[in-house]
Amino acid sequence: MDKTLVIMAAGMGSRFGGLKQMEPVGPNNSIIIDYSIYDAVKNGFNKVVFIIKKENEQIFKEVVGDKISKLVKVEYVFQDVNNLPDGYAAPEGRVKPWGTGHAIYSRKGVVNEPFMVINADDFYGRDAFSVISEWIESADFNAKPSNYAMAAYKLNNTLTENGTVSRGVCSVDENNFLTDVVERTKILRKEDGKIYFTEDEENWVELPENVDVSMNCWCFPSSFINEIEKYFKEFLDDALVNNPLKSEFYLPFIVKDMLHENKCTVKVLETAAKWFGVTYKEDKPGVVESVNALVKNGVYPEILWN
């Protein structure tokens, strides 16, 4: 079965301070995306779609795309702030794209098979690609309600010591199906060792360290794109009035709404993998150390793409 890996890489990394997706973290200038693609290919994925900004196309081709094009099919999708449904227009002064939901909306017409979605700047670990690949092989993509899946991480395994992170905090039933997901944009481990989130910078609410969280590691059938436009329009009707320059259309929002409308089920695939990524510049040394340890232990070769 054909399987596509969709990599969301249009963000410039404002907290990191640059195009963090291109920062070398491993031997031979390997970047985090390299390791995600390597793990995906090992698990049967045969196509990679990069969602990027048009102005970054050449650097993506030079740094990663051209290296893997002999192993898998590679395509590029451009996330543009003006790529909106008919009848809608970006407000004057809006520069930033509309978020992860908009990123997937941008790949309309390019992906016609089951696809896994990941962020470009997160290291997911091979187990995530393994459990998603196995799920694809057994899923009924013609079922109603639609069958979706996500690889879940324990919150404690997804934090950085260098600031706050955004995570989709999940509620899961006894059969490992998602019942709800709430986006928390400011999660922090404090000095007492406990994990908290805040919505207003003043009131901090504790979160259990072993709660499942979404790292934007999803799997959808190609029909998912047809669902996005409806929710995107609803989002824009509000955002263009109330927060036209900064509001974002998050991928978990779509899934949450579909769950509540009984339009889908989402199988939560547990992984014990430890996330790491370059949310902040200060994160990079730790990521480099972690990747080099994996190479030293034989998980990855020093040269990924011979």
Q: Does residue 303 lie in a domain region? A: no
Task: Report the relative pairing of strands 276-277 and 122-123 from DSSP bridges.
Answer: antiparallel
Sign, Cα dihedral of 232, 246, 278, 66: positive
Least confident of 7-11, 78-82, 103-107, 265-269: 7-11
213-236 residue pLDDT tens:
999 999 999 899 888 999 999 999
Kindly state whether residue 134 falls inside one of the protein's structural domains: yes
Asked whether the predicted pLDDT for residue 267 surpasses 60, the reply is: yes
Note the residue count of the chain. Answer: 306
148 belongs to a structural domain: yes
pLDDT value, residue 206: 95
Residue 104 lies in a domain: yes
For residue 254, give the CATH number of its domain: 3.90.550.10
Query: How far is it, in rounded angstroms, from Cα 96 to Cα 179?
Result: 31
Backbone angles phi, psi at 109, to 5 degrees: 90, -10
Residue 18 has pLDDT above 80, yes or no: no
Within a domain: residue 97? yes
Q: Above 80 in pLDDT, residue 243? A: yes
Model confidence band, residue 19 (pLDDT cutoffs 50, 70, 90) = low
3-state secondary structure the chain: CCCEEEEECCCCCCCCCCCHHHCEEEHHHEEHHHHHHHHHHHCCCCEEEEEECHHHHHHHHHHHHHHHCCCCEEEEEECCCCCCCCCCCCCCCCCCCCCHHHHHHHCCCCCCCCEEEEECCEECCHHHHHHHHHHHHHCCCCCCCEEEEEEEEEHHHCCCCCCCEEEEEEEECCCCEEEEEEEEEEEEECCCCCEEEECCCCCEEEECCCCEEEEEEEEECCCHHHHHHHHHHHHHHHHHHHCCCCCCCCHHHHHHHHHHCCCEEEEEEECCCCCEECCCHHHHHHHHHHHHHHHHCCCCCCCCCC
Residue 20, pLDDT score: 62
Predicted confidence (pLDDT) at residue 14 exceeds the cutoff of 60: no
How many independent structural domains does the chain possess?
1
Per-residue pLDDT at 131 exceeds 70: yes
In a domain, 301, yes or no: no
Which pLDDT band, with edges at 50, 70 and 90, does 3 fall under?
very high
Burial readout 48-69 (b: 16 or more C-beta within 10 A, e: otherwise): bbbbbbeebeeebbebbbebbe
Q: Which domain holds residue 94?
A: 4-296
Residue 302 within a domain: no
User: Would you state the pLDDT for residue 173?
Assistant: 96
Is 306 contained in some domain?
no
